[in-house]
Amino acid sequence: MKKVYLAMSTDIIHHGHINIIKKARDLGEVTVGILTDDVIATYKRLPLIPFEQRKMIIENIKGVSATIKQESLDYTPNLMKLRPDYVIHGDDWKQGPQKSIRERVIEILKTWGGQLIEVAYTDDAIVEHFEKKIEQLDTTPEQRQKNLRRLIELKPIVRVLEAHNGLTGLIVEKTKIVEDGKVERFDGIWISSLCDSTSKGKPDIELVDLTSRMNTINEILEVTTKPIILDADTGGKIEHFTFAIKSLERIGVSAVIIEDKTGLKRNSLFGTEVEQTQDTIDNFCKKITAGKKAQVTEDFMIIARIESLITGAGVDDAIERAKAYIEAGADGIMIHSKDKNIDEIREFCNQYSNLNYKVPLVAVPTSYCHVTEDELMEMGIKIVIYANHLIRSAYPAMVKTAKSILKNKRALEADREYCMPIKEILTLIPGGK
């Protein structure tokens, strides 16, 4: 009997999937390669149903003889193992991100005379309805919070970009590129106190209160589905912090990062140029513990930001604090540095890796922006936050536009050089036309 192979990532079976399995069954004995959760997470959304449950569902579909894990988007390992006579797939991969994967499948099959069979992709209102419903689930507070923990579990590194209003939230949500058959996108949204303050024309000294910041958070929540990590500066007094936790958790923020400094907040990138005072280990631990006791769900995360490399206290102090903060209940550790040289960060990560109990490490490579995500992963970093790049890129462009209008006493030059067409801005947001 001929051997047939098809791969599936779906977690909701609809008539399109049943149709392709029927066609595969007509060709021979069907083996389904089920993409693992981590593979799906690298190119698509998080699967709604975990791998083992998806496997059980597919195994019980009439016509499926066997299942096998597919542990990458590349079919090669499974094809070389099974050497099927046929691979069956929808014709939707002739173009787009999977085109190169398709070409590779054809090449491999040729080596033993196998054949690729393509069927018309099921693209109808019912399937579209399913996909939209699945996407909408990620907008609920509970699901956003769960998704951050799942991303940390499944992905080698979680990639987070700053947003400071609804529009920039949409940029983080929608931006993607395709390289070598792989879709690259951001996993989460960082709401920075620096960017929130700057966008409001105010200094970054904890001047913008929680009520105002909640407005920014809600703007972003309304138009996005990705998990949100909030920069909460010092968290304020313990009593205030516990109140903030309840408010943030209720609206769907996935995690909050608080830094172990006291006094008038000064941005850490100033380093020792301004007065930077660290909190005592004991007091900051009390704040973490109080915050954890205040939260209702298990999924909300409190991440402790260590400022020892900023204040000059050094790596040993940072490690001592990391151990204490983890014991106090911290769900993650952010190690911060303003140095372009990453020697101290690397040394911290090396020592951290030897701790008996660890939580995910977070890095914000603003100063050491030359360091790649692969390098950060090698050091043990689990979450990378690009903390202020959208507002830093927007401001120069807006200043150039303003200066051009002043110089030319008209908008033509600015319109040509710096502005998107008015029709595009009118239709940029869904429902605008």
Query: What is the distance between the alpha carbons of residues 158 and 116, in angstroms, rounded to a whole number?
Result: 35
CB of 300 within 8 A of CB of 245? yes
Fold of the 140-387 domain: TIM Barrel (3.20.20)
Label each residue of 241-302 as H, E or C. Answer: HHHHHHHHHHHCCCEEEEECEECCCCCHHHHHHCCCEECCHHHHHHHHHHHHHHCCCCCCEE
CB-based contacts of 26, cutoff 8 Å, min separation 6 = none
Active site residue 204: yes
> Which residues of the chain are modeled with pLDDT < 50?
none
Contact call for residues 87 and 6 (beta carbons, < 8 A): yes
| Active-site annotation holder among 204, 231, 233, 331 | 204
pTM score, whole prediction: 0.88
- What is d(CA 433, CA 428) in angstroms, rounded to the nearest whole number? 9
Domain regions of the chain by residue span: 3-128, 140-387, 393-427
Question: pLDDT value at position 418?
Answer: 93
Which candidate, 365, 299, 356, places its Cα nearest to that of 334?
365
Q: b/e map of 377-394 (b: 16 or more CB within 10 Å)? A: eebbbbbbbbbbebbeeb
Report the distance separating Cα 147 and Cα 254, nearest Å.
8
Instruction: Say yes or no: do domains 3-128 and 140-387 share a fold.
Output: no
Cα separation, 128 vs 135, whole angstroms: 11
Please give the helix or strand (H or E) that residue 175 lies within, else none.
none
Q: Which fold has domain 3-128?
A: Rossmann fold (3.40.50)
